[in-house]
Each structure stands twice: as structure tokens, then as C-alpha cells.
């Protein structure tokens, strides 16, 4: 029984150590520069993204609230997981 508990605990720790946690950014759109593929938000964040890859309208409408789920580091946004327009 003890061996089973130790093995289960080790497996749980291995899975939790490899699970990545994503950050979420929620803001309103100021503009989208289609040539540079940059989304400008009201909090002064500029996100390099091609909206076509996320099935969003191009150009994004000014005032739309977007929620961006991403993997980040000290350098900023590493990978965008999803972008959606929220109400």
C-alpha cells in the first residue's frame, strides 16, 4: 500500500511540475495595424499577432474588449494561446 502511495505521489508531482500556467490579459482595442500585425490596447500594451490565425475579424474594432491567454516570461509574451472578444 505504501509503495502505491509513493508511486502515485511521484506521478502527481511529475505532472504538476510540467503543467504550464497561462497568463490572461483583458483590455480594449485601440487599433490594429494590419501591415505590422500589431494589436494596440488601451493599457498601452502592443501585441504582435496575426488576427487571422485566431479567426477574429480583421481589422479589430476600436473599443472591442479582448481577452488574450498567453505564455509569458520576463521578456513579455512568448506565445499567444488564444484571443477572444468578450462582452
Owner of C-alpha cell 483583458: 26
User: Quick one: pLDDT band at residue 13, thresholds 50, 70, 90?
Assistant: very low
For the segment 20-63, what is each residue's pLDDT rounded down to a tens digit? 577 898 999 999 888 898 899 999 999 888 877 877 776 678 99
Class of domain 21-86: mainly beta
Could you tell me the CA-to-CA distances from 33 to 18, 46, 48 in Å, in that order?
A: 36, 10, 10
User: What's the CA gap between 43 and 29, in Å, rounded?
Assistant: 9
Whole-model pTM above 0.75?
no
Q: Is pLDDT of 17 > 50?
A: no
Domain boundaries, the chain: 21-86
Q: How many CB atoms lie within 10 A of CB 72?
A: 14
Amino acid at each position: 500500500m505504501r509503495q502505491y502511495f509513493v508511486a502515485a505521489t511521484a506521478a502527481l508531482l511529475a505532472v504538476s511540475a510540467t503543467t504550464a500556467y497561462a497568463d490572461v490579459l483583458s483590455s480594449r482595442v485601440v487599433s490594429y495595424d494590419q501591415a505590422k500585425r500589431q494589436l494596440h490596447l488601451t493599457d498601452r500594451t502592443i501585441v504582435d499577432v496575426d488576427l487571422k490565425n485566431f479567426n477574429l475579424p480583421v481589422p479589430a474594432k476600436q473599443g472591442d474588449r479582448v481577452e488574450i491567454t498567453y505564455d509569458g516570461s520576463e521578456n513579455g509574451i512568448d506565445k499567444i494561446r488564444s484571443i477572444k472578444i468578450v462582452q
